[in-house]
């Protein structure tokens, strides 16, 4: 059954009719062509599909699009400025080499933003614990932790 859906995605109001069983990750990738939100496992284990919903990191493969009706959703595409200037957390991931293949990076960046919003001066242990639901198979996490710390410091300025 098709249902009406209205939400704000990356600062723009979006309305659509969606099947009531449509997952948020499917809506973002297929209906809105926001392919930075990755599908890694389909079981909410890897974190590649992480987005912000009203400022909180969630795994969009585990949430129905209808569940976020009226919410503000931010994907990785919504972070950079209109002129292409990277968000400080994105810039930190680039600067600190907190990525290799890049598949996990959108989820890592968005998860880091949620962490920093609640713990702006998080230590290494807190960062590692906060990001443990986001799997990276390439970097070994050391540079990701450094990127989160660097991004948090830049955001505090």
CATH number for the domain that contains residue 66: 3.10.20.30
Going by their DSSP bridges, the two strands 2-9 and 72-74 should be labelled as parallel
As a whole number of angstroms, the distance between CA 43 and CA 97 comes to 28
Are the C-beta atoms of 36 and 97 separated by less than 8 Å? Answer: no
Please check whether residue 120 lies inside any domain of the structure: yes
Sign, CA dihedral 44-35-89-71, equals: negative
23 with 51, same domain? yes
- Tell me what pLDDT residue 23 has: 98
- Tell me what pLDDT residue 139 has: 79
End of a domain among 44, 77, 110?
77
- Tell me what pLDDT residue 44 has: 86
72 with 94, same domain? no
Instruction: Kindly report the pTM of this predicted structure.
Output: 0.95
Nearest of 36, 26, 32, 25 to residue 9 by alpha carbon: 32
Q: Quick count: other Cβ atoms within 10 Å of Cβ 150? A: 19
What confidence tens digit (pLDDT) does each residue in 40-67 have? 888 888 999 999 999 999 999 999 999 9
Are the C-beta atoms of 31 and 16 separated by less than 8 Å? Answer: yes
As a whole number of angstroms, the distance between CA 139 and CA 142 comes to 7
What confidence tens digit (pLDDT) does each residue in 93-135 have? 999 999 989 999 999 999 999 999 999 999 999 999 999 999 9
Residue position matching structure tokens 């540079």:
143
- Tell me what pLDDT residue 43 has: 86
What confidence tens digit (pLDDT) does each residue in 20-33 have? 999 999 999 999 99
93 with 57, same domain? no
Residue 76 has pLDDT above 90, yes or no: yes
User: 86-105 as b/e, with b when 16 or more CB fall inside 10 Å?
Assistant: ebbbbbbbebbebbeeebbb
């Amino acid at each position: 059954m098709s249902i009406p859906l209205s939400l704000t995605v990356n600062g723009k109001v979006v309305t659509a009719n969606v099947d009531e069983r449509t997952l948020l990750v499917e809506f973002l990738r297929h209906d809105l062509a926001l392919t930075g939100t990755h599908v890694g496992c389909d079981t909410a284990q890897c974190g590649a599909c992480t987005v912000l919903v009203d400022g909180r990191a969630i795994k969009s493969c585990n949430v129905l699009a209808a569940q976020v009706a009226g919410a503000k959703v931010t994907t990785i595409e919504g972070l950079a400025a209109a002129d292409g200037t990277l968000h400080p957390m994105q810039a930190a991931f680039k600067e600190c080499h907190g990525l290799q293949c890049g598949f996990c990076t959108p989820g890592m960046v968005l998860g880091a933003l949620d962490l920093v919003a609640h713990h702006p001066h998080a230590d290494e242990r807190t960062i590692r614990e906060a990001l443990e639901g986001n799997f990276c198979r390439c970097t070994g996490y050391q540079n990701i932790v450094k990127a989160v710390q660097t991004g948090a410091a830049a955001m505090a300025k």
